Amino acid sequence: MKAAAIALPRFHTRLWPYVAAALGVAILIFVPKVVGLYQTQLLTYGLIMAIAALGLNLLLGYTGLLSFGHSAYFGLGAYTVAFLLQWFGIRSMELYILLGLPVAAIVSALFGYVCVRHTRIFFGILTLALSQVLWSLALKFFWVSGGTDGLRVKQPTLLAGVIDFAGSGGFSRFIVSYYYYVLGVFVVCTAIIWVIVHSPFGKALQAIRDNETRAQFLGLRVRRFRWAAFLLSGTFTGLAGILWAPLNGLTTPDVVYWPFSGEIVFMTLLGGFRNFFGPIVGGIAFTFIKTYAVASTEYWQLLLGTVLVVLVLLLPTGIVGGLSQIAKRLMPVERS
């Protein structure tokens, strides 16, 4: 009798991430039916940022490396879309993804190869320095990149041109369709990252994070694992950039500038980087907080900065970490 009482909650603990995920997706599917167009658009931004933050968390949460240069891969994705449209007239979203992903992957492999030779603070500074190389190129080569004006990105066609948004009412149709498109990509990405972090590869990353020396003794090639994590991380963040450009309609050097890297780190921390779902909550929450802060006050950076400082000071495990602590306190049975 007693054994059953203990076994039952354990069963729940192992299952709850799947239940929560299914519930979350169900809610996300129904949201556009309930809320207006603007909220749907905001949520799309949120989901895109969630992908970027999930990507960053592969490095920060699971490998223990803080990158302050992820704006580089996000920006690469966004600019690749703009260039594909400008130079080749490509309008298909699938082609953007298919051609943009290798670009993000190659550059993150290149940058990562250099960066993973270092850890801790030097890793952070090196990622930052390399991302700023791309930023200064985007800023200075204005005849290619449009300089500070950036490049326009038209609404793409979805599903190999089946869904086009020409004609009247195109904008509202685009917002709703694009929301579901992004949601689909988001679910796929989340599933892939879930599999990655629960695979032997992901466990190896966590072992390296927790104790590099022991991981080395176990025969893990630490640098190679970190490099692979960097490559994956940069590629997922690049995918977020690819999805972001058509929604924003414009890509500027701001998304390559290093404070944007700081924002991606901020989102991850806001949700909680010690929890798999933390970056998702963080990406969505950050998008809404920032949008409302910008709308309600001219001094939104002040507000965000204060939130960040208070968060780091009082709630270092983020929203999800804080909630799960409360949940554990309310349900003492599950702790045993």
Partner 1 sequence: MSILVVQVLNSLFYASVLFLIAAGLSLIFGVMRIVNLAHGSLFAVGAYIAAWLVGRAIGMGVPVAWLLLLMPVAALAVALIGIVIEPLLLRPFYRRAEEYQLLVTFGLLLILEDLMRLVWGGLPLTADTVMDAIPSVHIGEQIYPGYNILVVGIGVAAAILLWVVIYGTKFGVLLRATSQDRRMAAALGLNVGRVYVAAFAVGCFMAGLGGAIVVPSHAAVLGMGVEALILAFVVVVVGGLGSLKGALVGALIVSFVRTAGIQFFPEIELAVLYLIAAFVLIIRPTGLFGTA
**What would the x/- binding string for partner 1 be over residues 8 to 47, using CB under 8 A?**
----------------------------------------
**CB atoms inside a 10 Å sphere around CB 161:** 13
Q: Does 309 bind partner 1 (CB under 8 A)?
A: yes
Q: Does 302 bind partner 1 (CB under 8 A)?
A: yes
Interacting span for partner 1 (CB under 8 A) from 14-22, 185-193, 207-215, 292-300? 292-300
Give min distance, CB of 236 to partner 1, in A. 20
**Spacing of C-alpha 158 from chain mean position:** 22
Q: Does 258 bind partner 1 (CB under 8 A)?
A: yes
Give min distance, CB of 24 to partner 1, in A. 27
Cα distance between residue 30 and residue 55, in whole Å: 26
Interacting span for partner 1 (CB under 8 A) from 85-93, 248-256, 261-269, 280-288? 261-269
Of positions 300, 315, 322, 323, contacts partner 1 by CB under 8 A: 300
Strand-pairing partners, residue 97, are none
Going by C-alpha positions, the residue among 155, 162, 203 that lies closest to residue 44 is 155
Q: Does 316 bind partner 1 (CB under 8 A)?
A: yes
Q: Does 301 bind partner 1 (CB under 8 A)?
A: yes
Which residue has tokens 């400082």?
309
Cβ distance to partner 1 smaller for residue 85 or 263: 263
Give min distance, CB of 81 to partner 1, in A. 22
Number of residues forming the site for partner 1 (CB under 8 A) = 42
Cα distance between residue 324 and residue 336, in whole Å: 15
CA dihedral 312, 314, 317, 323 (to 10 degrees): -140
Kindly provide the b/e burial profile for residues 66-104, where b requires at least 16 CB atoms within 10 angstroms of the residue's own CB: bbbbbbbbbbbbbbbbbbbbbeeebbbbebbbebbbebb
Cβ distance to partner 1 smaller for residue 1 or 314: 314
Q: Does 313 bind partner 1 (CB under 8 A)?
A: yes
Cα distance between residue 7 and residue 272, in whole Å: 28
Interacting span for partner 1 (CB under 8 A) from 38-46, 139-147, 188-196, 274-282? 139-147
Of positions 130, 204, 267, 285, contacts partner 1 by CB under 8 A: 130
Judge whether 156 and 92 are in contact, CB under 8 Å.
yes
**Spacing of C-alpha 226 from chain mean position:** 18
Where helices occur in 35-92 by DSSP H, the ranges are: 37-60, 71-88
Which residue has tokens 């500070």?
148
Of positions 90, 95, 106, 125, contacts partner 1 by CB under 8 A: 125
Q: Which of residues 265-284 bind partner 1 (CB under 8 A)?
A: 265-266, 269
Give min distance, CB of 205 to partner 1, in A. 16
Judge whether 100 and 81 are in contact, CB under 8 Å.
yes
SS3 category, 87: helix
Residues forming the site for partner 1 (CB under 8 A): 60, 66, 68, 114, 117-118, 120-122, 124-126, 128-130, 132-133, 136-137, 139-141, 258-259, 262, 265-266, 269, 298-302, 304-309, 312-313, 316
